[in-house]
């Protein structure tokens, strides 16, 4: 999963990924919806929007990824029906709760030190493995993931990874 902040960045990353997440907290709703609509209409891979179920519905995106302190997974599911609902988590308990509430996947991290999660204590590969063993839904690693660390993510049981700087 490439996490991008603009439609243009998403279209550049799309040939190298299986899914895109548009995460642009600095954009107002109108600009976010414009980027999302362009990306959804042009991307060869599915697009999820960070945190904004309203924008998902407005632009026809594949789903939403919710930060840990966002609306509940259940509420997002009520709003979005069968669309994808993912949750970013930082603990095993949060991953289990997300699965119990109906999340389709979780993004766990930061696994390693990361510029995009500055100040956050890295959880480590063992914590990633514990999360992957604790839930039946796919777990994506995030935070400091590099091409050299992808195999390590898979060995820990992650279904894949999410990255920001790798696709910048």
pLDDT of residue 115: 84
pLDDT of residue 134: 98
1, pLDDT greater than 90: yes
CATH (domain of 154)? 3.20.20.70
Cα separation of 63 and 42, whole Å? Answer: 16
118, pLDDT greater than 80: no
What's the domain range around 26?
2-167
pLDDT of residue 149: 97
Q: Give the chain's domain count.
A: 1
pLDDT tens-digit series, residues 4-41: 999 999 999 999 999 999 999 999 999 999 999 999 99
Single pTM value for the model? 0.95
């Amino acid at each position: 999963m490439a996490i991008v902040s603009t439609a243009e960045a998403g279209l550049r990353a799309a040939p190298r990924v299986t899914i895109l997440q548009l995460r642009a907290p600095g954009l107002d709703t109108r600009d976010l919806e414009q980027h999302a609509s362009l990306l959804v209409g042009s991307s060869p891979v599915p697009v999820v929007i960070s945190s904004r179920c309203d924008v998902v519905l407005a632009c026809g995106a594949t789903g939403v990824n919710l930060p840990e302190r966002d609306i509940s997974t259940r509420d997002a599911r009520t709003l979005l029906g069968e669309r994808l609902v993912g949750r970013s988590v930082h603990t095993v308990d949060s991953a289990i709760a997300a699965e119990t509430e109906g999340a389709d996947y979780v993004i766990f991290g930061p696994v390693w030190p990361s510029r995009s999660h500055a100040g956050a204590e890295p959880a480590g590969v063992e914590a990633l493995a514990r999360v992957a063993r604790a839930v039946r839904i796919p777990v994506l690693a995030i935070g400091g993931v590099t091409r050299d660390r992808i195999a390590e993510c898979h060995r820990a049981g992650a279904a894949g990874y999410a990255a920001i700087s790798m696709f910048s």
